[in-house]
Amino acid sequence: MAATPITIARGDGIGPEIMDATLRVLAAAGADLALEEIEIGQAAYQRGWSAGIDGRAWESLRRTRVFLKAPITTPQGGGFKSLNVTVRKTLGLFANVRPCVAYHPFVFTRHPGMDVVIVRENEEDTYGGIEHRQTEEVVQCLKLMSRPGCERIVRYAFEYARRNGRRKVTCLTKDNIMKLTDGLFHQVFETIASEYPGLEHEHWIVDIGAAKLADSPTAFDVLVLPNLYGDILSDVAAQIAGSVGLAGSANIGPQAAMFEAIHGSAPRRAGQNLANPSGLLLAAVMLLRHIGRPEIAGAVHNAWLRTLEEGIHTYDIFQAGTSRIRVGTREFADAVIARLGQRPDTLQPAVYTAGESPVLPAAAPPPPAVKRTVGVDVFVQWSPSQRDPATLARILGGLNGHGLVLTMITNRGTKVWPDGIPETFCTDHWRCRFTAPAGAEASQLQIVSLLRQLAQAEIDFIKTEHLCTFNGEPGYSLGQGQ
Ligand code: NAD
């Protein structure tokens, strides 16, 4: 079999040490890899590549389509933006898969038996980074969710569960509040779940679901989450399983995949032969399965489990009484290498026969919906000393000739006109809802005419959102948040 080309980056901080340890184990296990090394992160940034990654690196990634990446230091308050987000989104790596497993009694955990896989949507939600300061007082971040984006991550989670012998898929959202965005994710989850009658499925509101996950993680199996909740809860899950230093993750797309530890570059530990290389090593196990080398993945995983069982531990998981020998990064890798071919005695051995990552069937697009525009929300900055919504309503109601009717004013989502009460705190940011008379459509020209009149009246409008129905269903939130 020809060597498989993969791209590697040694990263920053503890990155080079844990990458070296991981590559030594892979070589000793007989993983026949043709390594292409790229430099990303601080080094590339300092050479003048503002995104922290250069053109040659992209060429390598597009050629090999498999990337083993050590952690990178993300500069705070300036410098390049998160390279992880850039690589994930540029290569279309929509699924982030993080197994979080307890290794009781060898690594301390309050949750023996925990074995959870978090499948996190990786491209959408608030991670588009589309943010605006709209008024003196108010900033916003757009949360964008698409039906195809929800469908492919949810289907990925069910296919992953089926392919990996899992029994249940749990979805967490906040669709009691975000009825359209999180509501879409939940609705897609229920639809796709019905195609997998052999798997249990359940939905929890994310706040109580997160509490339950932190308290009783053994109640869960595979979890599928929108991007932001998945980002937060996958760190919680890894930490309560034992340590963030132990978990690896895969970022999977239809054409490429990236494998990395979930932890960061731990700069304070760099260059001291202290760091635990396990997260990157387990990411490499996922990589080996991905490139069709399940037998080598199994050998590495089992040698690693055996090393943990024998109490050979790095500082982060070392516990007097349980651990036997405290080792550094290099010695830990040596211990794993010495145990290649062995299996754990107590912990569940890894048995891999195929890649863990499913290939998704192409989804049929839904029939096009009938879309009608029935009004417009105009957001305005308005900040007189007396912020009385009735005054604003009088000014806006005095504009006429555009054919639309002012029906509601809200401030940060709370209705303040009509029927507001003076206790409601109001910022300088007002959403003014204009709708067409009952049953009629609002034309683009009517909306333009309304905006022209607002401009002539020197009302500082800063954004509009059209109100549309799709097959008669409102595509906008109706009332107040909770
Ligand atoms: P971190 O994960 O680097 O470190 C958090 C703590 O965990 C530290 O106390 C560290 O000592 C410990 N730790 C982490 N990994 C360890 C390991 N392998 N062995 C032993 N101990 C380990 O998180 P941080 O300090 O918030 O971030 C440091 C830098 O890493 C930041 O610049 C951040 O942006 C970056 N980061 C990068 C990635 C990535 O590249 N995927 C992910 C997270 C954070």
110-241 adopts what CATH topology? Answer: Isopropylmalate Dehydrogenase (3.40.718)
The CATH architecture assigned to 1-92+243-353 reads: 3-Layer(aba) Sandwich (3.40)
Token code pair at residue 308 = 């943990």
Token code pair at residue 244 = 């963030």
CATH code given to domain 371-474: 3.30.70.1570
> What sign results for the dihedral spanned by CA atoms 57, 62, 68, 74?
positive
Return the pLDDT at 76.
Answer: 66
**SS3 label, residue 139:** strand
Distance in Å, CA 9 to ligand 1 centroid: 16
Domains 1-92+243-353 and 110-241 share a fold: yes
Return the pLDDT at 357.
Answer: 66
Q: Which residues pair with 251 in a beta bridge?
A: 96, 258
Provide CB contacts within 8 A for 89, sequence distance 6+. Answer: 122, 123
Nearest to 156 by CA among 260, 68, 251, 292: 251
**SS3 label, residue 474:** strand
pLDDT tens, residue by residue, 409-422: 999 999 999 999 99
Name the residue with tokens 């195929």.
354
With a Cβ cut-off of 6 Å, ligand 1 is lined by 14, 18, 71-74, 84, 244-245, 260, 263-266, 269, 275-276, 279, 316
Rounded to whole angstroms, the Cα distance separating 341 from 60 reads 33
Nearest to 133 by CA among 481, 430, 429, 454: 429
Distance in Å, CA 218 to ligand 1 centroid: 26
As a whole-number percent, the residues of the chain with pLDDT over 70 amount to 96
Atom 9 in ligand 1: residue holding the nearest Cα = 266
Out of 265, 281, 323, mutate this one to test ligand 1's pocket (max ligand atoms within 8 Å of CB): namely 265
Domain boundaries, the chain: 1-92+243-353, 110-241, 371-474
Name the residue with tokens 């494998």.
259
User: On the CB side of 286, how many CA atoms lie within 13 Å of its CA?
Assistant: 29
Return the pLDDT at 287.
Answer: 97
Atom 4 in ligand 1: residue holding the nearest Cα = 266
Return the pLDDT at 482.
Answer: 33
pLDDT tens, residue by residue, 243-259: 888 999 999 999 999 99
With 0.85 as the threshold, say if the pTM is over it: yes
**CA of 315, closest atom in ligand 1:** 20
Return the pLDDT at 94.
Answer: 96
Distance in Å, CA 200 to ligand 1 centroid: 35
Name the residue with tokens 């940034």.
45
Atom 1 in ligand 1: residue holding the nearest Cα = 264
Atom 7 in ligand 1: residue holding the nearest Cα = 266
Rounded to whole angstroms, the Cα distance separating 403 from 380 reads 19
Distance in Å, CA 263 to ligand 1 centroid: 5
**SS3 label, residue 401:** coil
Positions in the chain short of pLDDT 50 = 481-482
